[in-house]
Amino acid sequence: MTLWQILSEAITQATGSPFTPADRRAAGGGCINEATVLQGTDGRRFFVKLNRPELAEMFAAEAEGLHALREPGAIRVPEPLCHGTAAGRAYLVMEHIPLGGPRDARRFGEQLARLHQCTRERFGWHRDNTIGSTPQINTWESDWVTFWRQHRLGYQLERARRQGGGRGLVQAVEALMEVLPAFFDGYTPRPSLLHGDLWGGNQDADAQGNPVIFDPAVYFGDREADVAMTELFGGFGPDFYAAYDAVWPRDPGYRVRRDLYNLYHLLNHFNLFGGGYAGQSERLARRLLAAARG
């Protein structure tokens, strides 16, 4: 059987309604995977992500992440239908949502704050996942500083070291990891349900203007880490932050911690793409270090 025949059977099983493919189109825009919109003779559409078979676990984790984000009903998230390997490819099939509708930053800010109000006792998640294609470690911890030091900065730094990140970078981030508690004076983060990879490219709006988030790297962590990433490549506009704060105001120390949280993503960018991200990460780590030493 071809890949598309196997996927059609899997969709039939998952939806309980016979699916016969009529058309498929490559969907652009993804950074990591090959994406296709698959349409049936009955007009139903599905969004299919494909990659090498070794990456099947990445899609399993993504499917679980999408489920977790859908559960509170705070924000629209595509429903994952099935995943696995077929005809030498790993696949993930989900609900297709027509995107590109009118953006409503205010509604999005409110909804994200409501998502973050879903909390747990500890930081982490029941499984590891990926951030881009880099593994993301989600071992449960009751202490956020330990979690951020070990499973976020420490893990990315180790990969950066192996990829030739350079002594300056390694020394700066190691020194920063020593002084992490300084960033949490008078602030106790709660373990909130996070999207985990919330840059502008992973959010959009459906045809009715409902905010939609996708491509997550879910875990329970300080909500400021999600908000920080919205600012990494430009920011979502003042209405978004005002609406977020109206539901659950950020702590005044957010501004400094924002950079600490985005350092994780910059290190990951170095690990994924190399180049100037090493220097950018080192400069940021040194700035944070200076701030911590006051």
Q: Which amino acids are annotated catalytic?
A: 197
- The interaxial angle of helices 254-273 and 167-178, nearest 10 deg, is 150
Task: Give yes or no for residue 103 binding ligand ADP (CB under 6 A).
Answer: no
Q: Please, which of residues 162-201 interact with ligand ADP by CB under 6 A?
A: 201
Token pair, residue 235, equals 């920011």
The residue length of the chain stands at 294
Would you say the C-alpha torsion 118, 122, 124, 127 has a positive or negative sign? Answer: negative
Size of the site for ligand ADP (CB under 6 A): 19
Task: Give yes or no for residue 26 binding ligand ADP (CB under 6 A).
Answer: no
- Which of 198/285 has CB closer to ligand ADP? 198
Smallest gap from residue 100 Cβ to ligand ADP (A): 8
Token pair, residue 54, equals 């070794």
Task: Give yes or no for residue 207 binding ligand ADP (CB under 6 A).
Answer: no
- Which of 111/203 has CB closer to ligand ADP? 203
| The 80-86 sheet, strands edge to edge | 21-27, 34-40, 45-51, 89-95, 80-86
Stretch that binds ligand ADP, among 1-9, 89-97, 180-188, 269-277 (CB under 6 A): 89-97
Please say whether the beta carbons of 212 and 99 come within 8 A: yes
d(CA 130, CA 73): 23
Smallest gap from residue 265 Cβ to ligand ADP (A): 14
Task: Give yes or no for residue 44 binding ligand ADP (CB under 6 A).
Answer: no
d(CA 39, CA 37): 6
Task: Give yes or no for residue 35 binding ligand ADP (CB under 6 A).
Answer: yes
CA nearest to 99, candidates 239, 212, 2, 258 = 212
Task: Give yes or no for residue 272 binding ligand ADP (CB under 6 A).
Answer: no
- Which of 11/97 has CB closer to ligand ADP? 97
Applying CB under 6 A, the residues found at the interface with ligand ADP are: 27, 29-33, 35, 47, 78, 94-97, 99, 201-202, 204, 214-215
